[in-house]
């Protein structure tokens, strides 16, 4: 009797072990799905280009950003020279990645250019070195290499070309002239204000940096302060422009770029805004 009980116990134990193994096998073979719509939304920064053989190739696209919005639109900024308006659509996903189509409307308003995109899964076997990247099928702009973007923020970033930013700055300056709250009371104030406009049309300044520059031009502190107070500059946007200018010729960490902007006279909050607008 005791021997029979022992056999039954062993059989029960074996059944339990088989059941556990079967569940584990099912779980390992089951693909873990993600929210394909939500996963794409945010800011993606160009990191590298890969040719058909999987070899990294040199492409000077370091200032290229892709900003993706929840409403199915996206904006690609190529080297901050031009921007491309896109629409996007989630297609499907498998163990290798999540697949999308990005679409650029043709100049005639009818023909469309379709760009295939894949967010490479961490469980991929074919593209392990690209896990976590968003890979865009490339066009003639980069010799056929696939462009790989890394996500820098879950929030989309407003991307503007240099021309658009210059126009926005010019519009802001003109608006400040049109809506100027206090008229200059002296010729020195008028000249300082005009000089401030001249500076802001071609480079970015912090509030204190602009005052110091005007004082360097031998305006008095009161004249320089009047000009900074009445030039209509958005100091947050000035911080973003200054950060962009630094990134065009040098590399910075996020904290290093914030420190550099603070050195230029921007407040901490302005500096944080500036680096965030540039994809950090």
How would you write 91-160 as a 3-class SS string?
EEEECCEEEEEEEEECCCCCCEEEEEEEEECCCCCCCHHHCCCEEECCCHHHCCCEEEEEEEECCCCCCC
Q: Is the pLDDT of residue 123 over 70?
A: yes
First-residue to last-residue Cα distance in the chain: 73
Q: How confident is the model at residue 28 (pLDDT cuts 50, 70, 90)?
A: very low
Q: Which secondary structure element, helix H or strand E, spans residue 44, and what is its range?
A: strand 42-50
pLDDT tens readout for residues 180-210: 556 778 899 999 999 999 999 888 999 999 9
Give pLDDT, residue 270: 94
Q: What is the mean pLDDT of the chain?
A: 79
Q: How confident is the model at residue 216 (pLDDT cuts 50, 70, 90)?
A: very high
Give pLDDT, residue 30: 45
Q: Is the pLDDT of residue 59 over 80?
A: no
Highest mean pLDDT, choosing among 2-6, 154-158, 201-205: 201-205
């Amino acid at each position: 009797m005791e021997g029979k009980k022992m056999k039954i116990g062993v059989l029960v134990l074996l059944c339990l072990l088989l059941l556990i193994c079967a569940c584990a096998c099912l779980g390992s073979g089951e693909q873990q799905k993600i929210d394909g719509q939500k996963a794409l939304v945010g800011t993606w920064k160009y990191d590298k280009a890969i040719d058909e053989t999987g070899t990294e190739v040199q492409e000077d696209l370091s200032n290229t950003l892709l900003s993706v919005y929840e409403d199915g639109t996206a904006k690609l900024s190529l080297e901050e020279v031009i921007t491309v308006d896109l629409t996007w659509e989630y297609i499907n996903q498998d163990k290798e990645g999540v697949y999308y189509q990005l679409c650029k409307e043709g100049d005639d308003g009818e023909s469309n250019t379709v760009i295939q995109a894949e967010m490479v899964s961490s469980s991929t076997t074919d593209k392990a070195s690209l896990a976590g990247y968003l890979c865009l099928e490339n066009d003639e702009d980069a010799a056929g290499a696939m462009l790989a973007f890394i996500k820098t923020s879950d929030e989309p970033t407003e991307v503007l070309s240099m021309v658009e930013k210059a126009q926005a700055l010019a519009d802001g300056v003109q608006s400040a002239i049109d809506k100027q709250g206090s008229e200059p009371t002296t010729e020195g104030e008028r000249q300082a204000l005009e000089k401030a406009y001249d500076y802001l049309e071609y480079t970015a300044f912090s509030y204190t940096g602009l005052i110091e520059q005007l004082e360097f031009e031998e305006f008095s502190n009161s004249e320089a302060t009047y000009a900074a107070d009445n030039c209509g500059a958005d100091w947050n946007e000035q911080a973003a422009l200054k950060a962009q200018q630094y990134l065009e010729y040098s590399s910075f960490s996020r904290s290093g770029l914030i420190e550099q902007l603070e050195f230029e006279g921007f407040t901490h909050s302005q500096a944080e805004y500036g680096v965030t607008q540039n994809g950090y």
